[in-house]
Structure 1
Amino acid sequence: MSPRKFHADHIGTPVVHELVAAQFPQWAALPLEPFNSSGLANAIYRLGPDLSVRLPLPPSITDMVQREQEKLAALAPFLPVAIPSVEAIGSPHAAFPGTWSVHRWLTGAQPAPDAMVDPRRLARDLAAFVDAFRRVDLPDREPTYPGERRTRAPMVSMDSSTRKMISELDGLIDTRAALASWEESLAAPYDGREAWVHSDLTPNNLLVSTAGRLTAVLDFETCGVGDPACDLFPAWYLLPIDVRDEFRAALDVDDATWLRGRGRVLSQALTYLRHHKETPALANNARHVIREVLAASR
């Protein structure tokens, strides 16, 4: 099967067990089960109580996993919550023609805007994470894969695709309001100052405790140096309007940066809704963001 046609459904528990047993026999006896992740880039399996197996989709034989391991190890000391840790790297195999990895399992649940225990405390935790990330003192790295920098590129580079998404969602959203909101954000000035950003702080990439505290942040594939507005996504993905201003104040965000953040999250949500209408978690998150952004714009 070619990598181009490889999907999560084509892998399956027997394949992953074969990979682990062949390359990491010390873990072969651990229970293995698929993990129902709404992410699109990897198939994930729980391996015993403390580990997970992650298989990139489509499979790749590049050094992406090795570089990810090095990046995560370098970033961890700067950050106030847990982030993924690559425990081992698997080689391409007849059962899966790409590199893959074993990660340390991180505890917590993905937050939902309508089921948060303590949104004010979570807002402070998120602000502390973003602030710590901005203070990372490491050189940026070359992209691991083509297009990786797209999520933190200048907003003008997103203009054509965002307008296209708005047009194609006519009938599903208020396209006039969406276009007006996007154009307001696009016009917000940017002085070019950059900082380290995660650039994808969506609910899928956050874990919280039963008390509502931020316990871990996932998926650092697109992180690096970019516009600080890239890390304001939680304001519209998660935080109630009465808490949003506290998140903003904790990070001392000026008007222009706030507008750019609002535009970036709108662009991402439009893309998710356009391309993943049949994936309930992604589509519901996207609809929520679009509603929040357009309400704020009005």
Structure 2
Amino acid sequence: MIMHDDQVDVTAETVATLIQEQFPQWSGKAIRLLPSTGTVNAIFRIGNDLSARFPLRLADAAETLAFLEQEAQASAELAQVSRFPAPEPVVLGKPGAGYPMPWSVQTWLPGTVASDADPSGSDAFAEDLAVFIAALREAETRGWLFDGEGRGGVLAHHDDWMAKCCAESEGLLDVPRLRQVWSHFRALPRTGADVMSHRDLIPGNVLVAGGRLSGVLDTGGFGAADPALDLVSAWHLLQPGPRKVLRRTLDCGDLEWERGKAWAFEQAMGVVWYYVETNPTMSRMGRRTLDRILESTE
């Protein structure tokens, strides 16, 4: 499914050729495209213990390489501090076989993503999630600050994006009400210093087994951000009861909790309209998150 106007096509045949040319030691391994709700990479499994990630949106090769190098470093650092399994970087591949950008290989983690194995009613999962977030927060920032990319800085800096989301959501959502909600969220003050954060705790990025957290994916965004940012997981992943467990376990105050809700709102507003036709699972996730947020404000 084409999700982006600048999307690059990647096939199993392309991946097999790249493997044979650049990493012949893996050329005998089976290559399978993984069905995924992900929007950034096409993911292929290589044998039983590796996965290859191919950026979907066309970008300058040198810039992509720099990004993938940074992503690999961040993934390695998160794996060291996480109390749950996380993928570890293996190697970076070069452009070739018609694919115009560098790409990455990392270790494969078994499990079922939360999009498919819904843990939203599990108190134990909420406790696990809190343990994971707390471990990241305890990691040294080493002087790093929020890098200005995406969510995790100043809420009001997203006003233009939210205005676009509201305009694109006419006919899909109750836009007047959502504008009022954002007018409240955007004004929430920031008090806490940056902490280390996963930065994208959505259902497709966490693995579940037996109603417990069994692993965490898409860890390349690990970095310094608003302490409230990883609280998006409360709204993307949890029903009210487990949500309270997460809040209690992390000892979140009212302001931090509201800011976490605000970041989840900002993310959900974007995915509903952008993926309504091209990635319905992501769009439905956004709607569900908005419903949870609106229910909590009634």
On whether the aligned pair clears a TM of 0.5, the verdict is yes
Alignment match, 2:123? 120
Distance 1:115 1:216 in 2: 14
The structural deviation recorded for 1:86 is: 1.3
* Cα distance in 1, alignment partners of residues 115 and 97 from structure 2: 39
Equivalent pair of 1:84/1:104 in contact (CA under 8 Å) = yes
> For residues 142 and 223 of structure 2, what CA distance do their matches in structure 1 show?
9
Runs of 4+ off more than 6 Å = none
Which residue in 2 is equivalent to 1:224? Answer: 223
- Return the alpha-carbon distance in structure 2 between the equivalents of residues 164 and 46 of structure 1: 36
Q: Which moved more, 1:55-64 or 1:250-259?
A: 55-64
Task: Tell me the amino acid that sits aligned with residue 262 of structure 1.
Answer: K
The percent identity for this pair of structures is 31
Q: Give the aligned CA root-mean-square deviation in angstroms.
A: 2.2
CA contact (8 A) 2:121 2:241 kept: no
Question: Which of the residues 74, 81, 84 maps onto 1:71?
Answer: 74
Which residue of structure 2 aligns with residue 276 of structure 1? 275
Instruction: Report what 2:93 is aligned to.
Output: 90
Structure 2, unaligned runs of 5 or more:
none
Matched residue, 1:198? 198
The answer for unaligned runs of 5 or more in structure 1 is none
Q: CA deviation at 1:148?
A: 6.2
3-state SS of paired residue (2:32)? strand
Residue 175 of structure 1 deviates from its aligned partner by 2.0
**C-alpha distance after superposition, 1:192-250 (max 9, x if no partner):** 422111111000111111x1211111113333111111111121112111221111111
Counterpart-to-counterpart distance in 1, 2:258 and 2:282: 23
Specify the alignment match of 2:239 in structure 1. 240
1:7 counterpart residue number: 7
Deviations along 1:58-91, whole A, 9 cap, x unmatched?
3533322222222222232211011121112112
Q: State how far apart, in whole Å, the 1-side matches of 2:78 and 2:118 are.
A: 30
CA distance in 1, matches of 2:23, 2:130: 39
SS at match of 2:130: helix
Give a deviation string over 1:86-107, Cα, whole Å, max 9, x none. 1121122243221111111111
Partner of 2:104: 101
**Separation of aligned partners in 2, 1:276 and 1:103:** 27
3-state SS of 1:152 partner: coil
- 2:262 aligns with 263
> Structure 1 37/246 Cα, relative in aligned 2: closer, same or farther at 3 Å?
same
Q: What is the deviation of 1:51? A: 1.0
1:5 positional shift: 7.2
Query: In 2, Cα distance between the equivalents of 1:201 and 1:190?
Result: 21
Contact 1:262 1:293 in 2 (8 A): yes
**1:282: Cα distance to partner?**
0.5
Distance between the aligned counterparts of 1:64 and 1:37, measured in 2?
A: 22
Contact 2:120-2:238 at 8 Å conserved across structures:
no
Q: How many Å separate the matches in 1 of 2:36 and 2:90? A: 20
State the TM-score, normalized to the length of structure 2.
0.90
Deviations 1:110-151 (A, max 9, x none): 1149843861010000000110110111436699xxx86222
- Distance between the aligned counterparts of 1:117 and 1:231, measured in 2? 16
CA distance in 1, matches of 2:107, 2:68: 14
Offset at residue 180 of structure 1 (A): 2.4
What amino acid is aligned across from residue 29 of structure 1 in structure 2? G
Secondary structure in 2 aligned to 1:21? helix
- Cross-structure match for 2:285: 285
In 1, Cα distance between the equivalents of 2:145 and 2:49? 31
Indicate the residue corresponding to 1:149 in structure 2: 149
